[in-house]
Structure 1
């Protein structure tokens, strides 16, 4: 009866919460199971599949999927399938209820297989900790290896809670759009809101994204290219082989077959970086735009990332919004008209936020915008002094935030609205151009064109001397230059001309080698200088350093900003020293002056620099080649910078900025995560799990530990623990400084895997103890402590565990079948009892009262479960009903609220009500307490 016959019913030992499974298909190697209740499909290797055949016996009561029950009187087999026979009807196993759950603690008790009570206590603690983690509002946010920046946390919290979110993340450079997208993805994946994700980026950013997702969020994306697709064979869709996929935009655009396959694979979330490169004009979309449009149409959720301000490209901005919701943004002219109305709202919001008085036109505009929401009393109260005026002002701002134009689909934080940015201190150094470079005045990198077999360039280049002088001061220095060859030759120069510890970081190094170099540079006593090629300007966080040596300057200002952005980040503790050596009389001096005098790009973030560059690229190159008028170029650049900067400031949308980061709740969210970081509960809990499973843990350094398998391991492999071991920390600050250390949190795969490993097996589910010495006077001669798990089996997208995670229900039954858990606390029993070998108390285990007490425990657990279910239903209604009402009201004035969002919210309440109501307790563990004198029988 252990054959995998199609239609036969099985249960997964490590995942009993999936409910009853059915064999869909089986061959010599694989078995495919469908778990109807949870909507999950699993594929197992036939050999060693962790599945147990469900086989009820006469006397058992079984339930059909239609809800009726049958007491089994006989069982027969028909073509490998079981048929349960009752008094008046029969029930084939194919029609069994999908919500049947199973457990074995009582079977182990009567078979004499018991565990130490410390393991019983650990199991109960694990159940409680797992429930708290799954119900936490911080789930999916706390485990990311990121600084606790309120604006990033706020966006992730807001977006990830939506049904199939489709939003544009448009923060300015340096504010962390990649991290925001990663936080959203991580929260959705951890909570079960999403299971499949596709990230599409420009090819040069593939490695950066791969590293960010793996290092910061423990998300293992598979990088797809043509070679990877060919590995799976020509007949299969390669995009169905993995759940998390990362690929290049140009590769997909150039291959209609791969694009079609990617679109057909279906995605819960699609992420597209550098969305401003998706060129679009009415009637003339670019191939890249069309490719993303095809993918976006088949994806439920969509995250577009761009730093390009909407004010500099209304057509492009409309095109991006059209990707998010083509039904809502269908006409460019209509969008332009609506945008004018949004500007009026934004202007009024700016007046409210700046405490400027509102004129009659402003009040009329508010009435037109908010309708009944803005009563005359509220509008009049805005001008009142004190608390009344402030309350009215805040009420109007809240109403505008909810109804403002593109506010629900667009998030844009600006540096102007963000505190805590460091100062940039430019330190230019005008250096004499070596005579050997005299023939190369138009080159920005003359060292690459210098030819002298006897004297290497680094012996005659004064920039090397300037670097050595800086390093003599003892500071850590990040150096970025354009070419890998320059990096290698600079390392030779420093090795021969100084004793400074040097690390390399360039594109020919593999990812692990670059990580190790960055980690060595991060160590206080590690490398003093990190020599990077241009790849060092992509995505890395080196904010623990404060000196940036720009050995050369890139022509593109966006690339310069990327370089500076390695240090110029929120959270930087000191001012940034920008060391800018340049050779006088060369193209380097022209480019330095263009940046310093024309764009003012060293001392501050130049918001309009990219737009200026696009317009003046040709005259800039003429000047670099020595053929243009440098002074005229500088004047033209400064004028254009002022004009575009003023245009950007006039278009600044304070309401949008406020919507993108609500400072008070965002700050509270960051504080709650910081409090959880500081809580030692996780470290203490994991130590007990490690001790049980045989994972050795030793101190590595302050706030860090080394974990590795020991000879006494209870399992062949421990989740997320590599064979070579793992260095880990519970300290967020240490994890941020050391990329080679794992950051352990309640979200980490090792923690969740360890919890599942314990709860998915029989560890601690049966304990047998007796009172030490004399029993307490009021103690009966027999107690049964039973632990049930109340489970709600539902599709992950419903997030039912927000309201009812697997919850431990503890009941204690005395010989009179009375429930007395309040009198006999678990800690009291543990403190007063010792383990007893089952062999020494065979007669006690044969006591018929035990079986009656087990039946009474099941009844008591069912009563407790009903109370918990009712509480969960109330929490669900109180949480979700106001949101539905808000969306309905909001949809009447803000068309960005999609009808599908409202439909989903209403349907989610109905489905959750059904799923929560169907939750049933599952017997998980028991502890039997005997009188003291049984110990003499040992």
Structure 2
């Protein structure tokens, strides 16, 4: 056969030089000639030379691409948009229906196909007796692919997203504007939401270069989360790499940087000179606000300049408002600068918040079955009365601190560093005798050695060191070097160390912790999570627990010095057999411990009350099967401890009172309000000012701070009530599809490829089957296995390594989907038994784009109408999802049906549905009728 002529594929639409139009049926070679068997009438057949044929394709025809190479993959179905002749080659412009893209192709590689509309008008169900079931499987295959494309639900992400996470990510990806402020409550998975958004943007080629800016303690957490859950490698600027000149930025596309490093002039300039970012993300974005005078801070300036470098910015914060509307408005302007005027009148026009802010609340989110995820937690106060030795030590420490503060107030810039050190010592003293004495001993040793005797502490260095190693302040050398703060400091520190000696063997706080918390929890058969701010306290507690409860075995640790793998190993030991896990906040951020533990103890109370919310969030999150119990140790040995205890007691009473007013889930509402109040209270300035005041004056300040927090919460709730939220009542983001549909699809398709003994196992969470001989070794992920079990959720696959997780990128699942979607599988039109479906159903595949023509999402839009065909209506995602779950039984098409009227009604219903949700940022790009069905007669097909 000649190879210099591109031969028409079978089914190609052609005409000859006599104007006869028809279809190529067969191609053969006769000597130097290539002949085409050509049908141009109902029965007229003729052999014609290939070079005598021309394209007969015209705009509006539906075609299928048939690649000339047997190993190439088809581009699928499409619609002809135009034709042309270029350099003697006849070409056809085809818009491919599923991809939405257009390509000029040689006409010979296309074959004409009959549109689904034609089959509806003629009632043609095809040659397969099970056409109704093929219709269901065809639509289900497309639905599963679209579900994954929009959510990552079936990809190689190591997560099982919750409904609210899927819907929030879907909103961002499909809104047409990827700039949002995400204000979810703590513990609802903002990191997972961001990962899903980035995954979706990457699939649309809009997330090649990503910059994540976050507080220093969170940079490792973000890096670990992106690697562990999403398989993405991010580099930390300043740790993993440096940029000596701008040209080096092309080597770094996925970057994480700490906020306070990024705000420096040089680093800010480097980031802005990187050549533009596809996406910029700010975590803890409330730190970007302008100052109280409305002046632009370094952090805010950084965000402003990066906003000009990116088409997509996401701000993440659980407390975006904090009772300060101007600062909140400044955040909104960062996200959507084009709405500046509207944000300037925010209190008069609060509804604008819905255009910018997405917010999920713990009291409203549900699991996939629609059950509430959170039901509240209970907190118990454990009082500790200090002994004489502890009181003597604290009295002497108070004199030392007041002396240091007094010197600091007179020493200018050096004094600010001294004040910072005094505050650090106070925080360490609030934690444990181990933390404060470790720090004081380090300070005394350096003073004795007279190292850098003339050096003045540098405040920026101190702050950076404290942010980089927040749980290691007690043994951080950089914090304790430098000249004496005042005359006689070394001698006073030595007195403190001697006063501390008798406390160690008789530490009242430690004794109460072991006797009233650790021992009872252990003996009840439960596990205990202990939180402290500092590693010195952590080590102290572990050694004490080993002495007091040797039968409990090892107490495992998590802290900021550990890698992600080391932290996960600690969690595995805790889950398996360890009774105690002691974690610092720097170590525990982002790690979820709810599976085997519901009891926690705060050995120390942080000065930042919002950290208590973060601590509780390690257990009080999705997957917790028990009521979370929290113990707070309150030591009455200093004003700081008394003030923190007083603050916590009063805020709990306030939360209880506020939750009692009309809350449907009172305990969950109380926990939500408690978290909001704690996040709004600024107690650190009160503690810093209180060194010279009487405790009762500090108490008055705390009361004022609580009232301000209550008012701030009220104002925040008022404004954020307009934010877009996602409860458990809608499945529009998932098309009514969930993992039940995956099981239904696999269970029906596996026998069609010859698999035997297909059975659900593990309470329906997995499917087992045997492959036929001809398919053993065909699918790489299965190796040579004949007996296979597919896990339908990732958690099951993680615990059973021999199971194959559901993976749309895997060759077996891909083969099943391609089989069901193929034209040869049919299912394009069907008649099903009456009662299982409405009289008539049409399912369209719709693609959305933004005003720049960039892809937003795919969607299945189902319409239906009754027997007369007078009018149609949209079929809800829930109705379509229900229809696709159960097998369909074939029937006979209705003989005398008003098919033209039905076709018109279904098309109008589809167009009305699409027009109703079309916006400036969200335009239809392409649509085609994927499949249709009717409720046939009861007779056998």
TM-score interval (norm. to shorter)? 0.5 to 0.7
Give the match for residue 607 of structure 1.
676
Q: In the alignment, which of 645, 650, 656 is matched to residue 593 of structure 1?
A: 645
Q: How far apart in 2 are the matches of 1:123 and 1:450? A: 74
Q: Does 1:646 align with 2:633?
A: no
Residue aligning to 1:407: 354
- Report the alpha carbon displacement of residue 582 of structure 1 after superposing the two structures with TM: 4.0
Alpha-carbon distance in 1 for matches of 2:716, 2:732: 30
Match of 1:293 among 304, 322, 328: 304
Instruction: Tell me how far apart the structure 2 counterparts of residues 553 and 236 of structure 1 sit (CA, whole Å).
Output: 45
Q: Distance in 2 between matches of 1:567 and 1:92?
A: 67
Q: Tell me, in whole angstroms, the C-alpha distance in 2 between the residues paired with 1:311 and 1:676.
A: 39
Contact map agreement 1:422 1:569 (CA 8 A) in 2: no
What is aligned with 1:342? 349
Q: For 2:579 and 2:219, how far apart are their aligned partners in 1?
A: 29
The separation in 2 between residues aligned to 1:250 and 1:706, in whole angstroms, is: 53
Count of residues in Structure 1 that have an aligned counterpart in Structure 2: 663
Give the match's secondary structure for 2:263.
Answer: helix
Q: 1:868 to 1:237 in 2, by over 3 A?
A: farther
Is there any run of 5+ residues in structure 1 with no aligned partner, and where?
1-8, 10-56, 69-74, 76-86, 107-121, 344-403, 768-789, 806-826, 829-866, 885-901, 921-938
* 1:210 to 2:223 alignment: yes
Distance in 2 between residues matched to 1:437 and 1:528, nearest whole Å: 33
1:507 aligns with 2:576: no
1: CA distance, partners of 2:353 / 2:523: 53
Counterparts of 1:762 and 1:670 in 2: how far apart (Å)? 26
Residue among 794, 809, 820 paired with 1:752: 809
Alpha-carbon distance between aligned partners in 2 of 1:196 and 1:749, rounded to the nearest angstrom: 29
Deviations 1:722-747 (A, max 9, x none): xxxx9995347x46xx97789999xx
Query: Partner of 1:750: helix, strand, or coil?
Result: coil
Using the alignment, how far apart are the partners of 2:813 and 2:742 within structure 1?
22
Q: How does 1:209-228 map to 2 (within 5 A)?
A: 209-216=222-229, 218=230, 220-226=232-238, 228=240
Residue of structure 2 equivalent to 1:559: 611
Distance 1:674 1:753, change over 3 A: closer
Task: Confirm or deny: 8 A CA contact 1:422 1:570 kept in the other structure.
Answer: no
Q: Distance in 2 between matches of 1:60 and 1:229?
A: 62
Q: 2:590 maps to what in 1?
A: 539
CA displacement 1:345-396 (0-9 Å, x = unmatched): xxxxxxxxxxxxxxxxxxxxxxxxxxxxxxxxxxxxxxxxxxxxxxxxxxxx
Task: Give me the TM-score of the superposition, normalised by structure 2.
Answer: 0.56
Deviation of residue 162 (structure 1)? 0.6
Q: CA deviation at 1:456?
A: 11
Residues 309-708 of structure 1 aligned to structure 2 (within 5 Å): 309-310=320-321, 312-330=323-341, 335-336=343-344, 338-342=345-349, 404-413=351-360, 420-433=374-387, 435=389, 438-439=392-393, 443-444=429-430, 445-450=432-437, 457=504, 461-462=510-511, 463-466=513-516, 467-496=518-547, 497-501=549-553, 502-522=555-575, 526-544=577-595, 545-569=597-621, 572-586=624-638, 589-600=641-652, 604=671, 605-613=674-682, 616-621=683-688, 623=690, 627-649=692-714, 652-653=717-718, 656-657=720-721, 660-661=724-725, 663=727, 665-666=729-730, 676-677=739-740, 680-681=743-744, 684=747
Q: Could you list the runs of 5+ residues in structure 2 that have no partner in the other structure? A: 1-5, 7-49, 62-67, 69-83, 95-102, 112-132, 366-371, 398-425, 439-496, 657-670, 825-843, 863-886, 889-900, 932-941
SS of aligned partner of 2:709 = helix
Show CA shifts across 1:529-551 (max 9, x none): 22212234423333342211112
Residue 301 (structure 1) shift: 2.8
1:45 is matched with which residue?
none
Looking at structure 2, the residues matched to 713 and 189 of structure 1 have their Cα atoms a distance apart, in angstroms, of: 34
Q: Indicate conservation of the 8 Å contact 1:199/1:245, yes or no.
A: yes
Q: CA deviation at 1:464?
A: 3.9
Say which SS state the counterpart of residue 653 (structure 1) adopts: helix
Distance 1:193 1:882, change over 3 A: farther
SS in 1 for 2:631: strand
Deviation of residue 303 (structure 1)?
A: 1.9
Cα distance in 2 between the residues matched to 1:645 and 1:235: 51
SS, match of residue 326 in structure 2: helix
- Relative to structure 1, the CA distance from residue 628 to residue 299 in structure 2 (aligned partners, 3 Å threshold; closer, same or farther) is same
Distance in 2 (alpha carbons) for counterparts of 1:468 and 1:647? 40
The question of whether the paired residues in 2 share the 8 Å contact of 1:431 and 1:583 is answered with yes
C-alpha distance in 2 between matches for 1:155 and 1:124: 31
- Deviation, 1:516, is 3.3
> 1:504 Cα deviation (Å)?
2.5
Find 1:237's aligned residue among 222, 225, 249: 249
Contact 2:263 2:298 in 1 (8 A): yes
Deviations 1:494-549 (A, max 9, x none): 34532325433222222122123324434xx5433222122344233333422111
CA distance in 2, matches of 1:683, 1:760: 9
- How far 1:140 moved relative to its partner? 0.6
**Is this contact kept in 2: 1:458–1:489, CA < 8 A?**
no
1:912 matched to which residue of 2?
A: 926
